[in-house]
Amino acid sequence: MVKPDISTELSGIRLQNPVIPASGTFGFGKEFAELYDINILGSISVKGTTREPRFGNPQPRIAECPMGLINSVGLQNPGIDEVVNKELPELSEIYHKPVIANISGFSVDEYVECAEAVDRVENVGIIEVNVSCPNVHEGGMAFGTSAQNIAKVTRAVKAVAKKPVYVKLSPNVTDIAEMAKAAESEGADGLSLINTLMGMRIDVMRRRPVIANKMGGFSGPAILPVAVRMVYQVSKAVKIPVIGMGGVSSARDVIEMMMAGASAVQVGAANLTDPWACKKIIEALPGECEKLHIERLSDIIGCVE
């Protein structure tokens, strides 16, 4: 059998393979570059960035769970100016492919400012808009739980960005397809899903929450079936590409996500438990394709009816 073609494409950008470290689990790549050649990665979704520097939430921020973990890091990052002027240029010196710039905001204006800033950076190929932040002007409800707010943010970002805009959707909603359609209707070039589920752990000895913030984002292998279901639903509801994520930790998980409708796949929590996770998945992909008689990975995207 000819060696399987594991390449894929996102909005005209050719990826050597579909494996992308998810935002918040790979920093700005420098630490991982000390372990292996990160140029094997399809792309990198860099750490989520806000307008102002953020120290993040109080500690403890992490709670272990069976088959996953809960985190409440709180978007700790150095702010958009530092990312645009230092982090992204430094990353371009060690990673020679387009990256995905993940941005967040607490108002539409913040999203616009961050989008304008990263849009001008040469090594940014895609802008990933995280709509899981609370909207400070509308009572703190996360942007991503309202189709109207998703539409508003997407429209505003698309008005200033020349590069493809992918909206990262929250799974903490009643109808994920409705949220996806709202983003598509305002010109989103693609979608990323799912972000973390809301979870909580209680220290039964101390009778209080494990995490200082009480609740946080639940990720890890346990959420894979939920993520596959939502990727499947969204890919059937829209015509734009989908980046799937949520519990992916093996080459076979990547294939499952792509069969559900994902054009590329992000790996999140697995990077935190095994820093070589993405490398291992990429190396295992051709063998998995051969076992499943897949000649071209792109042929299986959305093959499940």
Note the helical H segments in 95-223.
108-119, 147-160, 176-185
Instruction: Evaluate whether residue 69 is within a structural domain.
Output: no
Stated pTM of the model: 0.96
Instruction: Evaluate whether residue 65 is within a structural domain.
Output: no
Residues assigned a catalytic role:
133
Which pLDDT belongs to residue 133?
72
User: Using the 8-state DSSP alphabet, how is residue 203 labeled?
Assistant: E
Q: What is the pLDDT of residues 51-108, one digit of tens each?
A: 999 998 999 999 999 999 999 988 899 999 999 999 999 999 999 999 999 999 999 9
Name, in order, each residue with C-beta under 8 angstroms of 37's C-beta and a sequence gap of 6 or more: none
Which pLDDT belongs to residue 132?
82
Instruction: Evaluate whether residue 16 is within a structural domain.
Output: yes
Averaged over 292-299, what is the pLDDT? 97
Instruction: Evaluate whether residue 99 is within a structural domain.
Output: yes
Per-residue pLDDT band for 134 (boundaries 50, 70, 90) equals: low
Which pLDDT belongs to residue 56?
86
Note the helical H segments in 52-195.
80-82, 88-94, 108-119, 147-160, 176-185
User: Using the 8-state DSSP alphabet, how is residue 222 labeled?
Assistant: G
Residue 141, pLDDT above cutoff 70: no
Whole-angstrom Cα distance, residue 97 to residue 45? 12
Task: Tell me what the pLDDT averaged over the chain comes to.
Answer: 95
Domain of 274 in residue numbering reads as 8-57+76-205+219-300
Number of domains comprising the chain:
1
Question: Residue 89 maps to which CATH number?
Answer: 3.20.20.70
Q: Sort strands 264-267 and 19-21 into parallel, antiparallel or unpaired.
A: parallel
Residue 139, pLDDT above cutoff 80: no
Instruction: Evaluate whether residue 186 is within a structural domain.
Output: yes
Looking at 81-85, 132-136, 275-279, which range is the least confident one? 132-136
In this predicted model, which residue has the larger pLDDT, 60 or 134? 60
Q: What is the pLDDT of residues 168-200, one digit of tens each?
A: 999 999 999 999 999 999 999 999 999 999 999
* Nearest residue to 89 via CA among 111, 55, 117, 54: 117
Q: How many CA atoms lie within 13 A of 174 on its CB side?
A: 2
Instruction: Evaluate whether residue 123 is within a structural domain.
Output: yes
In this predicted model, which residue has the larger pLDDT, 35 or 140? 35
Instruction: Evaluate whether residue 97 is within a structural domain.
Output: yes
Instruction: Evaluate whether residue 71 is within a structural domain.
Output: no
